[in-house]
Amino acid sequence: MKQKWSILLAIPMTLSLLAGCSGGASQPAATDKPDAAPPKPAATEQQAKPAEPAKSGGKTTVQFWHSLGGKNGEYIDGLIKRFNDSHPDIEVVGTFQGGYDETVTKLQQAIASKTAPDVSMLERAYIEMFADADVLEDLNPLLKGSNLSSDLFTPGLMGHSTFNNKLVALPFNRSTPIMHINKTMLDEKGLAIPTTWDELKKVAEALAIKENGSYSRYGLTMPYDTWYPIAMISQAGGKFFNDSNKSIGFYDNGVGAKVFNYLKQLQSTGGLYYPPAQDSGNITSQMFINGKVGIMFGSTGSIGSLAGAVKFNYVTAFLPKDQMFATPTGGANVAMLSGTKNKAAAWEFMRWMETDPQGGLQFILQSGYLPFTKAMVESKEMKELWTKEPNRKVAYDQLQYAVDTNKDVAWPEVMHEFFSAIEAIMYDSKNVQTTLDTFKKEAERILKK
C-alpha cells in the first residue's frame, strides 16, 4: 500500500507539467451551449430500489466534486437541485474543482489529508490510478442492493469502470472524438465524406487552397492532444500499451511510424493544419466555423456549439478507418470514495443520478454528452432528440467501435512523454522513427517502476 500511495501522491507533479495542454486523452470539460431546452423526461428510465440514507439528527450532507463549468456547470447545479428537492433527508453540495487534471490533483491532496468528498467526478483515464491505491468504493454490492446490475449501462462506456473485479466508477459525462464536416465545402468540390484514411487524404488535399505561397484553407485539422493519435493507432491495428503492459503496442508492428508519417505527409501538402498547443481546441473550432478548414477531428461534446455557430451544412461522421473503425472514449465517470462516512446517502445520489429520469437523462439531453444507460438510449426523449439532431446519433452509433488501450496506472506519466513525442514530430519535424525510439524507451522505463 505504501508503494501505491507514493505513486498516487507523486502524480500531481506530472499533471502540473500538462498545464496549458488540452488535457491529453483526458478531454477538458465541455461547456457547449445546447441548441434548445430539452423536453421534460417521462418515467422511462429503469426504476430502482433507493438506498436508505444515513441519518444523524438532520439531513445527511453529501459532498460532490465535479469538473464542469459554463453551461454544463449550470446543468449540474440543476441536477443537484432536483435531487435535493426530492430527497428531504439528504443535501448534496456540489463543488466545481476546475478541469479534470486539477480535480485529480485536489482529490489526491484531499485523500492524503482525510478531507476527501463522498463522491467525485474522475476523468476515465485516471480512474485506475485511484483504484490501484484502493481508495474507491466497490459499487457491485450497492448495485445489487438496489436491484440493479452493470448490464444496464452502455457497453462502450464501461471500459474504465472495473479493476481487480471491483466496479469502482460509473459513466456520466462521456464523449468520443468524431469527424465534423463542412458538407457544403465538400459538395462544392464534388467530394464524398471520407470513410478511410486513403479517402481522407484525397479529400483533405483537394480542399486545401494555397495562395501567394501560403495556405488560405486547409483540408483537415485536429486539436493538439493524445486522443487523435491514439484513435489512429487503434484504427491501424495497434494498441497504445501492449498486452503485458510492459511496453507500447505500436512500435514493433510499425503502426506508430505509419500514423505519424501519414500526418506529416498531410501537413506538408496543406491537407492538415496542426494548431499551436496553447488553446488548440478553440483555434481549430474557430477555423472550422469560419470555413478555413473543411474537416475537423473533435469531441462529440462540441456538436451543440458548432451547430449553433456555423453558416453551412454541418454533418458528423465516424472517424475514418485504416484497417478498422476504432475510437477511444473520453470524458468522466463518477466514483464513491471508500473513506466516506455517508455511504448510503452517497449511493442514493449516485443511483438517482445514473438511473432516475430526472437525473442523468435530463443532463444528457441538455449537455449533448453520450447516453450512458440502455434505458436512456431507448427513451422517447432521446429518440426525439436524435430525429431532430441526427449528428448526435452518429456519435452514439460510433460507440460500437469504442476501444481504450491506454489503461495503466502509469498512464498520466506516460502521457507526458507521449506529448513530448507528438511535439517533436508535429512541431519540430524530428525524425519519426528516432522520436518513437526515444518514446518507447521512456515508456518502458516508466512502466517498470
pLDDT band at 412 (very low <50, low <70, confident <90, very high): confident
pLDDT band at 273 (very low <50, low <70, confident <90, very high): very high
User: For the CA atoms of 125, 127, 132, 135, what is the dihedral angle to 10 degrees?
Assistant: 160
Tell whether 262 is covered by a domain: yes
pLDDT of 393: 94
**How far is 120 from 65, CA to CA, in rounded Å?**
5
Determine the 3-state secondary structure of 61 from DSSP: strand
Q: What's the number of domains the chain is made of? A: 2
pLDDT of 208: 98
pLDDT of 9: 55
> Mean pLDDT of all residues in the chain?
89
Helix, strand, coil abundance in the chain, percent, nearest 5: 45, 20, 35
pLDDT of 24: 43
Q: Are residues 320 and 216 in the same domain?
A: yes
Share of the chain above pLDDT 70, in %: 87
Amino acid at 50: P
pLDDT band at 175 (very low <50, low <70, confident <90, very high): very high
pLDDT of 53: 43
Q: Are residues 285 and 235 in the same domain?
A: yes
Identify any residues that bridge with 260 across adjacent strands, giving them in sequence order. none
Q: Cα–Cα–Cα angle for 422, 427, 431, nearest 5°?
A: 70
Backbone angles phi, psi at 336, to 5 degrees: -100, 130
- Quick one: average pLDDT of 166-193? 97
**How far is 356 from 17, CA to CA, in rounded Å?**
39
Q: Are residues 275 and 338 in the same domain?
A: no
Q: Are residues 164 and 265 in the same domain?
A: no
- Given a contact cutoff of 8 angstroms between Cβ atoms, the answer to whether 219 and 295 are in contact is yes
Place of cell 505504501: 2
Out of 7-11, 211-215, 424-428, least confident range: 7-11
Domain containing 310 equals 177-327+410-447
**How far is 397 from 22, CA to CA, in rounded Å?**
25
C-alpha pair distances (Å), 315 with each of 63, 221, 389, 426: 40, 16, 10, 28
Q: Are residues 317 and 347 in the same domain?
A: no
Out of 44-48, 195-199, 301-305, 344-348, least confident range: 44-48
Q: Give the CA diameter of the chain.
A: 76
141: domain CATH number is 3.40.190.10
**How far is 164 from 186, CA to CA, in rounded Å?**
48
Amino acid at 300: T
Identify any residues that bridge with 162 across adjacent strands, giving them in sequence order. 167
User: For residue 337, which of 131, 124, 118 has the smallest C-alpha distance?
Assistant: 118
User: Grid coordinates representing 365?
Assistant: 439531453
- Given a contact cutoff of 8 angstroms between Cβ atoms, the answer to whether 291 and 217 are in contact is yes
Q: Would you give the end-to-end CA distance of the chain in angstroms?
A: 15
pLDDT band at 58 (very low <50, low <70, confident <90, very high): confident
State pTM to two decimals: 0.85
Tell whether 403 is covered by a domain: no
Tell whether 67 is covered by a domain: yes
- Quick one: average pLDDT of 95-119? 95
Q: Are residues 138 and 238 in the same domain?
A: no
Q: How many CB atoms lie within 10 A of CB 433?
A: 14
- Given a contact cutoff of 8 angstroms between Cβ atoms, the answer to whether 359 and 201 are in contact is no
Q: Are residues 187 and 164 in the same domain?
A: no
pLDDT of 1: 45
Helices 432-447 and 255-269, packing angle to 10 deg: 140
Q: Are residues 199 and 71 in the same domain?
A: no
User: For residue 117, which of 107, 127, 125 has the smallest C-alpha distance?
Assistant: 107
Tell whether 280 is covered by a domain: yes
Q: Are residues 281 and 374 in the same domain?
A: no
Q: Are residues 201 and 251 in the same domain?
A: yes
Q: Is the pLDDT of residue 69 over 50?
A: yes
Q: Are residues 30 and 122 in the same domain?
A: yes
- Quick one: average pLDDT of 20-38? 35
Q: Is the pLDDT of residue 38 over 60?
A: no
Q: Are residues 149 and 197 in the same domain?
A: no
User: For residue 263, which of 217, 230, 312 has the smallest C-alpha distance?
Assistant: 230
Q: Is the pLDDT of residue 283 over 90?
A: yes
- Given a contact cutoff of 8 angstroms between Cβ atoms, the answer to whether 339 and 78 are in contact is no
Tell whether 111 is covered by a domain: yes
pLDDT of 302: 87
Q: How many residues does the structure list for the chain?
A: 449
Q: Is the pLDDT of residue 2 over 90?
A: no
Helices 390-397 and 380-388, packing angle to 10 deg: 110
Query: Residue 267: CA atoms inside 13 Å, Cβ hemisphere, count?
Result: 14
Query: Residue 34: CA atoms inside 13 Å, Cβ hemisphere, count?
Result: 19
- Quick one: average pLDDT of 318-346? 97
